[in-house]
Amino acid sequence: MKVSISKSLAHGILDAPASKSYTIRAMMCAALSPGQSYIRRALTSDDTLASTDVLQAVGINIFRNEFGWRISGGNLKRPEAELFCRNSAATLRFMAAMAALVPGTIRLVPGEGLAKRPISPLLDALMQLGVKCRLDGPIVLIEGNGFPGGDVSMPGDISSQFISALLIAGPLSHKGINIKLTTPLASKAYISMTIDCLKKFGVRVSASPAMDEFSVARQEYRPTDYTIEGDWSQASYLIALGILSGETITTNLNAESLQGDRVALSLIQRMGARFSVRRSSVMAQRSFLHGINADMSNCIDLLPTMAVLAATADGDSHFSNIKTARLKESNRVAALCQELHKMGIRTREEENTLTVIGGRPHGAEIDSHSDHRLAMAFGILGTAVGDTIIHGAECVDKTYPDFWQALTSLGAKVESDDQ
């Protein structure tokens, strides 16, 4: 799918979509809770539907309607076929740990893009905990004949989802689990979100102050009624739209959220953006920006948003601790440099840093690299500069299927070849 974006004047009010990360975590917790849980305002996207498909295949009943999802959990069974996880990393990684609780051998199949992303550190950790597992090419094989548990050492700087996966499955292991990280934890906020979600379902996790050690005893999940809050990652695009192309009000946001990407407000403030926060909404207005130095270690998904804002800013912007962005749906660092260069913006990259030299970007034909966050970020920049075409624009279905319609509703001039 290809979308064409003309220079636009954006104006309007729109809800941020529900958090993908909280939706998937809540679904997994509900699946492990004996009884019925209600997940209200859940996000429907390709990633969350991947979780739905996989959970239903292991015996979890999920009823969806316009108000939310009713999930009957607590009785996992061996699936009749392989479990296709699409390109949802959270689905694959969380299910790899949960599969140890299911009798028999389970085969988890990643989509083409997901197959390129790391999984071995999680399997190494599961083996330390007594789980028999291995890779068969890109397919993950888990022999779910019990989850002994115990002590495990693992890296914290590759993906926080590896730790979250163990924390989700760990309460139902025989001995509980104790995790010690051998490298500093990246994306700490996602672990805080996991611990918060587990608490809502009756599970307690102990974490060291430095968040380098975690313990979860054997315990039972409790079904609950859970409401998904708005997604700060997705809200960043709507806020950036106002900053670059007019005025937007983004609603359905929790100002006290544990989501790491809530720091977007602090970052844009440091860039000189004009915005105001009122209860659950953010109003952003067209602004003249200046460069920024920012540590992205706990908000790595904001890198595309911040990079396109930096492209229009006065001066250079330096983003550090960005190496994990190379392990996402694309190598986001290299892809950002490539696509910004097409728009006349110079960049410098090293393994763990990215510098964007602000200027006057112009329209260009942009390759999304099948990466939803790149497509959305360059879509926003396209509204400010015009004459922009995004190839592979359908990749936004992964987390924000209505993104292009959302832009149109806010006054952006967007045309699609998939009308």
What are the catalytic residues?
301
> CB count, 10 Å around CB of 139?
14
The string of DSSP letters for 145-190 reads S----EEEEE-SSS-HHHHHHHHHHGGGSSS-EEEEESSPPSSHHH
The alpha carbon of 6 is separated from its chain's Cα centroid by a whole number of angstroms, namely: 28
Distance CA 73, CA 92 (A): 19
Furthest-apart CA pair in the chain: how many Å? 59
Which regions of 208-315 does DSSP assign to beta strands (E)?
213-216, 225-227, 246-251, 274-278, 281-285, 293-295
Distance CA 419, CA 415 (A): 8
Amino acid at 144: G
> CB count, 10 Å around CB of 105?
14
CB 69 within 8 A of CB 38: yes
Bridge pairing between strands 206-207 and 213-216? antiparallel
Among the listed residues 260, 275, 352, 350, the one whose alpha carbon sits nearest the alpha carbon of residue 309: 275
Phi-psi map region of 55: left, alpha, beta (phi>0 left; psi -120 to 50 alpha): alpha
CB 331 within 8 A of CB 324: no
Question: Which residues 6+ apart lie within 8 Å of 316 measured at CB?
Answer: 291, 355, 356, 357, 358
CB 71 within 8 A of CB 62: yes
What the block records as the tokens of 242 is 């106002």
Among the listed residues 14, 3, 13, 20, the one whose alpha carbon sits nearest the alpha carbon of residue 232: 20
